[in-house]
Every structure is written in C-alpha cells, then in structure tokens.
Structure 1
Amino acid sequence: KQHIVFIVNCCNCTERPKVQVSIKPDQHVFRGETVTLRCDIDGEGVTSWQYSWYKDSSGSVFSELQEHTFSPVTKSDAGKYFCYGVERGGSRRSQHSDAVTLTVSDRAQTDLSVSPQKWLTEGDSVSLICEVNGSSAGWTFSWFTLTASSDNRYNFQQLSDSSRGTGGNYTVSSAALKHTGVYVCRAERGNPAYNTTYSNKQPVWVTGVSPLVSLIISPSRTQHFTYVSLSLSCEDQSNSDRWRVKRYTESEQWENCSSRWASQTGSTCTINSTITSNTGVYWCQSESGENYHPVNITVHYDVILESPVHPVTEGDTLTLRCLYKFTTPQNLRADFYKAGSLLQNQTTEMIISNVSKSHEGFYYCKHSERGESPKSWISVRGETVDQKTLLKSVLV
C-alpha cells in the first residue's frame, strides 16, 4: 500500500518548465547591427520569472532580463548563449535552455547577379538577383542604376518601379531600350535599420531598333584588329550633334570619347589606332542621359569573328566569317562554335538562313594554327509591323 502511494505522488510531480532562446534578427549577424536575445519559459501558473543569462562556459550571469539587446553588436559578442529562470517569490525553477550560437561577421556584403544573361533583346525577360553573403533572414532589398558624373563620381538612383520586400529578385518581364544600364543593389534589416554595402556592378544591355538614333560603326563589325582606325558615330534623322559616344570598359569604368584615347567630332568618335584596352561596350547617350544601341566592341591582335553590329531579325540570314590579320585573303577555313558546341568545321564562312530566336547566343571561330577569336553575342529580334515601320523611319 505504501508502495502504491509512492507511485501516485511521483505522477503528480511537476517537471521543470522548458526554456527556449531566440535571436533576432538572425543567428548570423554583422558588426553594427542591433541584436536581441530573448528567453521564453513555458511555465504554466508562474506570473514572474527572474532570468539568468550565461555565455559560453562562463559561470557568471551577465544579464537578468528576459530580453538582452546588443546595440550595436560587436565581434566580441559572438559565442554560445543559454538561459534559465527562477520563480520570483516561489520555488519553481526552469530547465536550462539549449545553447544558441551567435555569429558576428564584418560588414555585410551583397552579391548581384543577372539571369539569364546581361545581353538582351527588346521584349526579353531578365531578373536582377540580390543576395546577402552568408545570411538570408529578414532582409529587404533595393535596386539602383549607377551612373558616373564628369569627375567619375558614382551617382545612385533608386529604381522608382522596384518594390522593396523580402524577396531578393527584381524582374523586368519585357525589357525595353531604357533598361540599358549598370545596376547595383543593397539590403537592410532591423530597427534601427542596418544597411549593407552596395553590391558589385552588373551591366544590362538591351539591343533593338530606336527611332531616335543609330550607332554606326566603321568597319561594320563588333570585333576589330589592333592598330587600325575605328569610327563610331551616333546618327539621328536631323543630323544633330546632341548625341555622344560613351563606353563602359572591362575595368568597370565609364568613359567619354576623349583625347586620351580617341577624338570627338560632332557625334562621331574616332580611334586612330586601336589597342586591346579599347575593348568595351559602346553606346549613344543623349543630353538627358538616355542610352541607346549598346554594342560590345572587342579589339584582338590576330583572329577575329566578323559578325553583324545590330540584332538580326527573325527570318533573315546570318553570315559569320573568321578573319586573320596577317593573311591575304583574310578569311581562311576555320571551325565555328556557339556556346562551346561545334556548329561547322573547315569553312571560310558560316551561313545560317531563316534565323530564329534559338540562334541567339555567343559565337566564336577557331583555327588550328592561328588560334581562336573572342566571343560575340548575336541578338535575334522578332519582326513585328511596328518594328518594320520603326526600321523604315530610321533608314529614311
């Protein structure tokens, strides 16, 4: 009988309440953020707890608050934290919580990528994907276009049609010529707000037909040999001089057509003797800062691919040739590739009739002795009634 009474009493024993530790905004934070540790005890019937916080293996209490805030957090605050509680004016004690690790890194970095690629044709869809390295919780994102002033200072202009939210994607469902530009992103979280640094720069180039201006390149191709003359001209229907040739180099620098590397006459930029550092994207910019007709110009010393300057219209014929600087005639037999796949071998030129959108991509040629050319992006655009009318207005 005594044995039965003992079992009943144990069944009525009260277990110590469970404890849970939470960290806001995240367990991985960055130096300068505001971070809050919170201790929650599942103790039914207890109206008030006295909390005790411990860090790592230290036996000393560093806080007796239910919420402990680091503002701002430093790298020395990193470590493992746990808490437990004692009932105020009573005898109940909680369990010890599981340890939660707080990681504190230096300033947060964002990474911006473009999907599916940075070269687009009017009407294509493109996404700018912004990510915070090493962290994903609680961020809101903003996207900016980046321009350079005359003294090469960067100006950031937030996209007016971008919605800030928890998703790190900014998507343009139908790209237009106005979307050509260089983009960066930034993220923030917390209260007060903590901002990351600006991301890496990502250019997006949208090709198509503009009724305002055309970029005329002579010789009319995207790849050029070294030490030759190259002319780039922005021409509109009124033959005005309000357009200027701009370029964005592989070193991520905006440059005007200047005496340092070329000469400007009206709306024409002339490079008297090309060198490999002239490689970059060239376009026409209006007085108000609008960008039209980006073309990727590559300067190479030996083997180049001859390809059209502007997008090819669906249904037209595309002709590619492999040219050699030190050979007469210049076009000899070579192999032609698209995105690493061999399309045609040992031919002087490759002809694709009835071009479709599927033919869009990067092309290059290769000779067994001379080597291979740089890659050129071939854009393909659909021809609509509006585009036909637009094209005629440019050519008239």
Structure 2
Amino acid sequence: MLKYCRENEEKPKPTVTIKPAQHVFRGETVTLRCDINAERGTSWQYSWYKEDSTGVFSELQELTFSPVTEFDAGKYSCYGVETDGSHRSHCSEEVTLTVSVPRAVLSVSPQTWLTEGDPVTLICEVNGSSTGWTFSWFTETVSSDYRYRYELLSDSSRGAGGNYTVSSAALKHTGVYVCRAERGKPVYNTTISNTQLIWVTGVSPPVSLIVSPSRTQHFTSVSFSLSCEDQSNSTGWTVRRYTDKWWLEDCSSVWGSPTGSACTIRSTTPYDTGVYWCESESGDNSHPVNITVHFGVILESPVHPVTEGETLTLRCLHQYESPNLRADFYKDGSLIQSQTTEMIISNVSKSNEGFYSCKHPERGETPKTWISVTASSRRSGSDDLNPVIAGVTAGLIFWIIVFLVLLWRYRSNKGGRSQSPSSVSQQQNSSQTSEQNQSEAGYKSLMSGTAHTYDSVDATNNKDISTDIVSGPTEVTYAEIELKPTEKQKTKKENKAAGSSDVTLRHYVGEKD
C-alpha cells in the first residue's frame, strides 16, 4: 500500500465504479470512475494505482480502456488531493477488472443422434455472460484444401435467445454446426464456437455399418475395417467419420484405405477415436457407431444396439495378454460385478442401458462405452395386435351366441307346433336324471341372477382362439340353454308349450319376469 494510504487522520474515502461491468471481454470499452464525497465543495486531483505498479497509473477522474485487452485486467484503487494541496483523501477499496476472450459454447439437446421426426435444439452460450448477446448458427463444411466455410442457417436464426430449435429433424439436417454471438456498438463478435455433429437417420436405415473386429473399442497400432452393407445393393455408399482432431472427413488415403463401400485403417492411433457412419450421395445415412482407440485395456462390447430379450456379453481385454482379464465391471460408474473374465446379462431390458467399463487393478481402466437397448419388434408387434385379437374374439363369440340362441328358439317353436304337450312330457321324462339335475341347477342360477350372457363370453374368451374356430361351439357347451322345467312349472308349460321358450330366453339374457 502506498504511503498516502497509511495516514490515520480523518479524511474522505473515494469509491470506484466500473461501467459496464467488472467482467468485460477483450475488444469492448470499459470505464473506471473515482468519486470523493467531501463535505466541502472543493475540487480534487485524482491518482490511480494498479497492483504491483510503482507509480501513478493515471491522474484523471475516469480511467477508460477502449478497446480493453487482457493486459488491462487487474486490481485498481484511487485517491485524491485537493487542488490547493491542503487535504488528501483515503485510498479507495481495490476493485478487480476481469478481461477475458469471449467464447461461444454450443451444446445440443436432447441428443446428437436423431431419427427422422425427432426434435432437436442447438443451445449457444457465452462464457461468463448471458445478457446483451444476439446469436447466429452456421453449418460448417471443409473443402478439399481443408479450408473451413460457414453458411448461415437462416435469417430467422438471429435473435436475443440462445436457442435454435428444429421441431422435426429430417435427413438434410445431418451436418456439423457452430454458433457465434455478438453485442455492443460497434458490434463485437465472439469467436466461433465448438463444433457439434448432428446426424439424422431414417426409421429403418437402408444400410448398416459393419465393423471388423466387431467391437466399439480397439487397441492402438492395430487395423480394423468398416464396410457399408445393404440388403439389396452395397454400392454407392461412403464411410465417413467425425473426430475431434480432423472433424468431418471421408475415408481417404490420409487416414484409411478406401475400397468401394469399405474402408480399412491399417495402424490405429488415438486420433482415430470418433463417430463413423455410412452415407450415400443422396444424403441417406446409416446409424452411427462410436469408435474408441485406446492403449492398454479395452472393453469388448457390441457395435450395434442390443434388442430386448437378447443376451449381452462384455469382456475386458488387454493388448498384450491372453486370455481375457479378470476385472471389475461398472455401469454408470457403479460396480456391478467384480473379478470375473466376462459379464453376461441375459434377457436384456431397457433398464440395462447405460455406460459400461471395466477396470483391472494393475492394467488400468477402459474408456466408457454406451450400450443402447432397443425394443423387440416381435414384442411390440404382438402388443399392437393384442387389442385387435381381443376385439375380434369378443365380436365372434357374441355372434356365435346370437346364432345359437336363434337356432335353439327356432327348433323349440317348431317342436312345440308339431308335438303335443303329452309327447313333450314323455320325451322329458325319458331324459337321464343327471341331465335333469344339471338343467335345473342352470335354471336356478339364471333365475337368481348369478349366470349371465357375459359369463359365457368371458369363459370362452380365455380359450385359445384357434381351438374355438376349428372345433366350433359344441352342444355340451350350450346344453343348459335347453332347460327342463321344474315340477311347479310343468302344468304351466303343458298349457303353454309354445310360450315356454320365450320364458326361458328371457331368463337366459338376464331379464326378470
């Protein structure tokens, strides 16, 4: 602290204000002002001091930097002396001026792997500041001579908000994106943001990327191949990749050996870590594959997503040791299996999705690999079909019952007209005792309201549909429809043989007398 600030006499103390803020970006304008609130209206001469300086930095009341640079950052204080030299002020409190390089940071929500129709949002932010900025988004391309070109997405992408949303992604949205922010007058721009690769595939991509050896992690100084396989035609496809070092590029002699729709990397390095996929001239893409090149220990895992119900097998491999390492396996950072040569998960479900890795106490730990689980097409298909089957079954059973009831009524009416009451009684008496008991029990249940049409429907609905269709309704199933009257109703039925069927039918459908 300077000697002027060590005096103990009573004197006013200056305050320092900074506009527009204590944290500014390189290239902007910033002003520091020293104010002394003294009782008497005297004029002051000002002096500014900067940390680690040996003398007066400035003698103005306002200290302005335009444009400000990183060298202007630091701690500042001021003090004043009356113009006649009779009094001095205290030194002000130190204020810190921070100057940084504005950098735009681009992120993607919810993810960079998209299927046609998915929504996606590009989020652009500026480090250390979120106000006063307008944003622009660009697609990035690399020419054959490795020059980068930026194309503005649209005029509507400019705005005060830091989000750019595509409500329904299409294949044409596949590409590399960057953003930039600007503010102030004259306009000051941030640097171009980091890149974000977004790729969009169809619901059922026409081609698949095949990796050999079939795993997502590979050792350094080895070779592996990639090929585009189509069920009908494997020509016209190109292997492409995106890496942190080389960004977006096709398979070429620079990093691989292209052969038709295939590509071979002869000697891998960590720079080969990235996203690989197949792309056609028309812009169709395969599902992407994350490939990691790592020295030491790697995790052997499937290249493509695992289907629900399948078995997932993971192994921990070392570049110079065989057989598989006995290691600990982790999911999302939590230990799930220890000291085993492989981890097997049978009947995989969506809950098994996550980041997996393995760790050997001496050989080290593998990078994390995302294991994706997709729904079973067979299961989802059957789920969609079940309501249809249930509806068809219920409708079929209903019409079978209607047909049988009408047929039974027709036969009963016909029999009532052609036979006398005495012959009907004689036929009824010739029935077996067990059948009569069964009919009486069924009749009583109908009268008491415990048996209804839907009881028969439910019972039939629980059967296998194919069995019902082949065998058809049996007379045993509907034997209770032809009910035998009780002793108390014989007289009534003999007098109204034709009307008995009407009574029986009303009870069968649950009506009351």
Give the TM-score of the pair, scaled to structure 1: 0.65
Aligned residue for 1:241, secondary structure, equals coil
2:317 paired residue number: 323
2:329 paired residue number: 336
**Alignment partner of 2:362 out of 369, 382, 390:** 369
Contact 2:223–2:268 at 8 Å: present in 1 too?
yes
Using the TM superposition, give the Cα deviation of residue 172 of structure 1 relative to its aligned residue in structure 2, in angstroms.
5.5
Of Structure 1 and Structure 2, the greater strand share is in 1
Using the TM superposition, give the Cα deviation of residue 351 of structure 1 relative to its aligned residue in structure 2, in angstroms.
2.4
Give the AA of the match of 2:128: G
User: For residues 225-248 of structure 1, what are the alpha-carbon distances to aligned partners after superposition, in whole Å with 9 as ceiling and x for unaligned?
Assistant: 334331101223443432211222
Of Structure 1 and Structure 2, the greater helix share is in 2
Contact 1:152–1:254 at 8 Å: present in 2 too?
no
Measured in 1, the distance between the counterparts of 2:96 and 2:369 equals 48
Measured in 1, the distance between the counterparts of 2:150 and 2:139 equals 6
2:124 paired residue number: 130
List alignment gaps of at least 5 residues for structure 2.
1-16, 32-45, 49-57, 78-94, 382-513
Any residues of structure 2 matched to 1:346-357 within 5 Å, and which? 346-357=339-350
Contact 2:106–2:178 at 8 Å: present in 1 too?
yes
User: For residues 182-224 of structure 1, what are the alpha-carbon distances to aligned partners after superposition, in whole Å with 9 as ceiling and x for unaligned?
Assistant: 3211123356654322112233466786432211111111112
1:222 paired residue number: 216
Using the TM superposition, give the Cα deviation of residue 34 of structure 1 relative to its aligned residue in structure 2, in angstroms.
8.9
Contact 2:228–2:234 at 8 Å: present in 1 too?
no
Give the AA of the match of 2:266: N
**Alignment partner of 1:189 out of 159, 183, 188:** 183
Give the AA of the match of 1:336: F
Change (3 A) 1:177 1:359: farther
Change (3 A) 1:170 1:314: farther
Measured in 2, the distance between the counterparts of 1:175 and 1:243 equals 22
Aligned residue for 1:259, secondary structure, equals coil
Change (3 A) 1:158 1:213: farther
Change (3 A) 1:130 1:174: same
Contact 1:305–1:320 at 8 Å: present in 2 too?
yes
User: For residues 56-88 of structure 1, what are the alpha-carbon distances to aligned partners after superposition, in whole Å with 9 as ceiling and x for unaligned?
Assistant: 9899899xxxxxxx9x866699999xxxxxxxx
Change (3 A) 1:371 1:154: same
Work out whether 1:307 is the aligned partner of 2:328. no
Aligned residue for 1:292, secondary structure, equals coil
1:393 paired residue number: none
Contact 1:121–1:379 at 8 Å: present in 2 too?
no
Aligned residue for 2:268, secondary structure, equals coil
Using the TM superposition, give the Cα deviation of residue 309 of structure 1 relative to its aligned residue in structure 2, in angstroms.
0.9
Using the TM superposition, give the Cα deviation of residue 338 of structure 1 relative to its aligned residue in structure 2, in angstroms.
1.7
2:254 paired residue number: 260
User: For residues 258-306 of structure 1, what are the alpha-carbon distances to aligned partners after superposition, in whole Å with 9 as ceiling and x for unaligned?
Assistant: 2233211101101233343332221222224554322121223332111
Work out whether 1:276 is the aligned partner of 2:270. yes
**Alignment partner of 1:149 out of 136, 139, 143:** 143
Measured in 2, the distance between the counterparts of 1:122 and 1:380 equals 19
Give the AA of the match of 2:240: K
Percent identity for Structure 1 against Structure 2? 69
Aligned residue for 1:277, secondary structure, equals helix
Work out whether 1:249 is the aligned partner of 2:236. no
Measured in 2, the distance between the counterparts of 1:335 and 1:61 equals 67
Change (3 A) 1:351 1:73: same
Change (3 A) 1:378 1:340: same
User: For residues 119-170 of structure 1, what are the alpha-carbon distances to aligned partners after superposition, in whole Å with 9 as ceiling and x for unaligned?
Assistant: 6778876543311223222222222232322222223233459744322233
User: For residues 308-339 of structure 1, what are the alpha-carbon distances to aligned partners after superposition, in whole Å with 9 as ceiling and x for unaligned?
Assistant: 111223444322122233333x3242211122
Any residues of structure 2 matched to 1:1-396 within 5 Å, and which? 30=25, 105=99, 108-115=102-109, 127-159=121-153, 163-171=157-165, 180-190=174-184, 193-204=187-198, 210-289=204-283, 291-328=285-322, 330-382=323-375
Give the AA of the match of 1:345: S
Give the AA of the match of 1:230: F
List alignment gaps of at least 5 residues for structure 1.
1-20, 37-54, 63-69, 81-100, 389-396
Change (3 A) 1:114 1:166: same
Using the TM superposition, give the Cα deviation of residue 374 of structure 1 relative to its aligned residue in structure 2, in angstroms.
2.1
Contact 1:31–1:104 at 8 Å: present in 2 too?
no
Change (3 A) 1:254 1:28: same
2:429 paired residue number: none
Larger radius of gyration: 2
Give the AA of the match of 1:360: E
The more displaced of 272-281 and 228-237 is: 272-281
Give the TM-score of the pair, scaled to structure 2: 0.52
Give the AA of the match of 1:276: P
Please provide the CA RMSD for this pair.
Answer: 4.5
Aligned residue for 1:293, secondary structure, equals coil
Contact 1:74–1:104 at 8 Å: present in 2 too?
no
- The structure with higher relative contact order (CA 8 Å, sep 6+) is 1
Contact 1:208–1:310 at 8 Å: present in 2 too?
no
Change (3 A) 1:28 1:305: closer
Contact 1:217–1:232 at 8 Å: present in 2 too?
yes
Change (3 A) 1:151 1:287: farther
State the aligned residue count: 330
Contact 1:360–1:378 at 8 Å: present in 2 too?
yes
The more displaced of 102-111 and 287-296 is: 102-111
Contact 1:207–1:311 at 8 Å: present in 2 too?
no
